Amino acid sequence: MLTRREFTAAGLGLVASPSLLALLDACGGGSSAPAARQTGPEASGGKLQIAWWGGSDRAKRTQQVLDLFTRKYPKWSFDSSFTGFNAYWDKINTQAAGGALPDIIQMDMRYIGQFTQRSQLLDLTKYADAELNLGDFDRGQREQATINGKLFGVSLGGNTQSLLYNQSVIQQAGMQPPTGKESWEEFGSYCKQLQAKLPAGMAALDDCSWDITPFEVFVRQRTKKELYTSDGKAVFTNGDALAWFSLWQEYRSAGFITPGTVAAAENQQDTPDNSTIVLGKAAMRLQWSNFVGQYQVLMKNASIGLAPHPGGANIGTYIKVSQAFSLSAKTQYPQAAAAFIGFFVTDPDAVTVLGLDRGVPASAKARTTLAPNMTPADKVQLDFVNAQVKNNRAKTVLDPTGAGEVQKAMARNALSIPLTKVSPAAAAEKFMSEVTKALTA
């Protein structure tokens, strides 16, 4: 029979021993010792964490490529996660805050400035030739993700702003698709004509007033500059915001854009599966060119076409790095992760699986691999981007920290006009004050 003293001693011993073991484990040769920093995919194994945003089709393709990589290098496996675009940044920021960014992060050009400013991304310059295989990479795409001379992201595809339209519906209405040479007013007249011939419940144009993508084109057309200055201030003024909101208010009064609640739903769940074109609520949408494939996959009974962005004489569009893969600065497997990215953008099997879902590949070899076997939608995208190469003005200023918050402010204020009957003037003022707050915080 144990005395109380012996019981206490035994209990303390039990509690103390696991902590001693953990201490020994950390001091001795652990598997995550610093010596493991330079490991290529053949040399050793591990689990890579990867995160991206996108819809169900992109998830399927990406998962296939992850499986292809694991088949080639069986010692490596993946821990993957994906969400819609809006939720993605909260998640990534939270993970960054906890020091637990995934090894491989899909990155957007509006956010990359923020992450590099906080030194959260790994400089990939030294992996450029070997692991990343960037020898035949399009120079413009490589430069967009190069900040202060260091490469922080590898482009997964190029895209450009465009007008996506449901070709079948427009043909049935007996009209020609827009040419892209219309001014905003002429485009409005076109939409009005189209609306008269569309079935009930379908608007001619999706309400895109809340989306910063067409707003950026609008500002670039008006000011002939960029959205932001190189020292992080906004180029656009109250006048530009008011012109934008007023334009869409005119469109709204003419009755050919989707109602505010539909636009809000699209903003709440922003995957292709929930877009108004796929759901049959709109015939046209201002959108990035790489969405043509994603929409086409979801719409079996209609074909999707691409037309140049409206807005007339001044060029506002640019060929963008649609998205990139970056590596976390704290990754334990930089070389293997870089090799994965190189595999993702140049390996023929991987490139074939991915198609043009994330845009037109920047690697020339990848483009030639894809050429013979492209789906019709991919061909439309490739032809369009090639045609637009001569019709764009390169973006020269990277979005500053706070650009993501500006994007959210645009959504809130643009939607307040149809939903809470705020006047465009009041919305523009509120938007500008939120922009100032976002860019100076």
Partner 1 sequence: MSEAAREGLAAYLFLLPWLIGLFGLTLGPMVASLLLSFTHYDLLSPPRWVGLHNFQLLLSDDRYLHSVRVTFTYVVLEVPLKLAFALLLAVVLNRGLRAVGLYRALFYVPSLLGGSAAIAILWRQIFGGDGMANMILTSLGWHHPPAWLQDPSYALFTLVALGVWQFGSPMVIFLAGIRQIPREFYDAARVDGAGRVSQFFRLTLPLLTPLILFNFILQMVYAFQTFTPAFLVSGGNGSPVDSTLFYTLYLYNEAFGNLHMGYGAAMAWILLVVIAVSTAAVFASSRYWVFYMETER
- Rounded CA-CA distance 70/151 in Å is 26
Pick 79 or 90: Cβ nearer partner 1: 90
Counting contacts by CB under 8 A, is residue 269 touching partner 1? yes
H runs (alpha helix) in 145-211: 167-172, 184-196
Binding-site size, partner 1 (CB under 8 A): 35
Q: List the one residue from 133, 144, 162, 267 that touches partner 1 (CB under 8 A).
A: 267
Least distance in Å: CB of 101 to partner 1? 12
Name the 3-class secondary structure at 284.
strand
Q: Is 17 one of the binding residues for partner 1 (CB under 8 A)?
A: no
- What are the C-alpha distances in Å from 89 to residues 139, 214, 223, 404, 434? 28, 21, 29, 9, 19
Q: Which residue lies nearer to partner 1 by CB, 240 or 270?
A: 270
Residue 8 interacts with partner 1 (CB under 8 A): yes or no: yes
Q: Report the nearest approach of partner 1 to the CB of residue 301 (Å).
A: 19
Which residue's entry shows tokens 């990215």?
A: 341
Q: 97 exposed, middle or buried (CB, 10 Å; 0-12, 13-18, 19+)?
A: exposed
CA distance 109 to 398: 7
Residue 87 found at the interface with partner 1 (CB under 8 A): yes
Using CB atoms within 10 Å of the CB of residue 166, give its burial: 0 to 12 exposed, 13 to 18 middle, 19+ buried. Answer: buried
Q: Per CB under 8 A, which region of 36-44, 247-255, 258-266, 378-386 contacts partner 1?
A: 258-266
When asked if residue 273 is in the footprint of partner 1 (CB under 8 A), the reply is: no
Q: Nearest approach, Cβ of 234 to partner 1 (angstroms)?
A: 17
Considering only residues 21, 26, 43, 94, which one is a binding residue for partner 1 as defined by CB under 8 A? Answer: 94
Q: DSSP letters of 82-126?
A: EE-HHHHHHHHHHHHHTT---SEEEE-TTTHHHHHHTT-B---GG
Q: Does 278 bind partner 1 (CB under 8 A)?
A: no
Could you say which of 118, 224, 330, 379 contacts partner 1 (CB under 8 A)? Answer: 118
Q: What is the dihedral of CA 353, 156, 386, 203, to 10 degrees?
A: 80
Of residues 372-411, which lie at the interface with partner 1 (CB under 8 A)? 405, 408, 411
Helix H or strand E encompassing 337:
helix 334-346
- For partner 1, the binding residues (CB under 8 A) are 4, 8, 11-12, 15, 84, 86-87, 89-90, 93-94, 96-97, 118-120, 260-262, 264-265, 267-270, 405, 408, 411-412, 415-416, 419-420, 441
